[in-house]
Amino acid sequence: MNNSPAYVAGGGRFGIGSRLFGRGARLLSAAFVAGSMLVGANALAQPNLYFSMPVGQITEGQDADYNVCRTANQAAPLTVNISVTQTGGPWIAGAVPSTFEFAAGAAFQCATFSISTEDDMVDEDDGRITVQLLRGTGYGLGVSGLAGAVNVDDNDEAGVTPPPPPMLPEVTIAASSASAAGVVEGTDIVFDVTRDDSAGELTVTVNVDDGSGDVIAGVPPTQVTFHDTDLTVTVTVSTDDDMVD
């Protein structure tokens, strides 16, 4: 056996180093556990979202309803990104949505949003509207239930051609014969508004503008109404008889 001081000192350093290494490993392990706990706390701070619904069933013209739940309530509003696809159809009336929202301060964990469908007159294959949850800010996605679907039944008969849309009347306006050559200030200006179809009552919006803002007296008319079989109605605009050259 070597009893030299150098050997003893070397052994002491080795032993101390081993203890320090072991203590460092324990500190590292403790830091790792603490870090894991922080990550877990952050993960719990924002809810995960998922669909909670069976496959729905509607007929075109009805609303397709979707139920989305979250694992925790939040006081602030939460905007959720979605992707919407449809087969058959097209079914969706208006713009295809790209988000929906949990309202601010909502004391519930589920929200229902609807997509309107169009009741057209075209024979189509039955189809489906599918909504997919997308990643966003303030929430996570669950491990399942990331899509909800509603089947849509067409209600039109095969081989039936829809009727054409109704023809809209054509409306024109011109100065009346009494006003066509011009008027003296203080005199009413009369315009004739004519339509080419006398089918029932019709209200037409008009815009009266004198350009300078100092000719019209009072508030000019904003609309004119045809009654029943009227083909021509008049719009009267009063002018201001001032004392300015």
Instruction: Give yes or no: residues 36 and 75 share one domain.
Output: no
**Considering its fold, how many domains does the chain have in total?**
3
Q: If you ran DSSP here, which 8-state letter would residue 113 be given?
A: E
**Are 147 and 198 contained in the same domain?**
no
> Under a CB-based contact definition with an 8 Å cutoff, are residues 237 and 217 in contact?
no
Last residue of a domain, one of 153, 185, 210: 153
87 and 131 co-located in one domain: yes
CA distance 68 to 108: 11
Residues 177 and 91 in one domain: no
Alpha helices in 46-191 (DSSP H): none
Both 121 and 202 in one domain: the answer is: no
Claim to verify: residue 29 and residue 53 sit in the same structural domain? no
Predicted confidence (pLDDT) at residue 146 exceeds the cutoff of 90? yes
Domain identity same for 52 and 149: yes
Q: Show the domain range for 11.
A: 1-45
* Kind of pairing between the strands at 56-59 and 147-153: parallel
Co-location of 134 and 71 in the same domain: yes
Q: What is the pLDDT of residue 30?
A: 38
Reported as a single tens digit per residue, the pLDDT across 171-228 is 999 999 888 888 888 899 999 999 998 778 999 999 998 877 678 888 889 999 999 8
Highest-pLDDT range among 11-15, 32-36, 198-202 = 198-202
What's the pLDDT score for residue 107? 63
Q: Which residue, of 127, 153, 179, is where some domain finishes?
A: 153
* Residue 5 within any structural domain of the chain: yes
User: Are residues 57 and 34 part of one domain?
Assistant: no
- My answer on whether 195 and 230 are in the same domain is yes
What pLDDT band is residue 34 in, cutting at 50, 70 and 90?
very low
% of the chain at pLDDT higher than 90: 49
User: What would the pLDDT profile of 57-107 be if each residue is shown by its tens digit?
Assistant: 999 999 999 999 998 887 889 999 999 999 998 999 999 999 999 987 766
Q: In angstroms, rounded to a whole number, what is the distance separating the alpha carbons of residues 49 and 72?
A: 9
Mean pLDDT calculated for residue range 14-40: 40
Q: What is the pLDDT of residues 101-138, one digit of tens each?
A: 998 776 678 999 999 999 998 888 999 999 999 999 99
How many residues appear in the chain? 245
Q: Same domain, yes or no, for 207 and 145?
A: no
Strands, E assignment, the chain:
48-51, 56-59, 63-70, 78-87, 99-102, 110-116, 127-133, 140-141, 147-153, 171-175, 189-195, 202-205, 223-226, 232-237
144 and 89: one domain? yes
d(C-alpha 208, C-alpha 7), whole Å: 110
Say whether pLDDT at 1 is over 90: no
- What pLDDT was estimated at residue 87? 95
Distance CA 228, CA 168 (A): 15
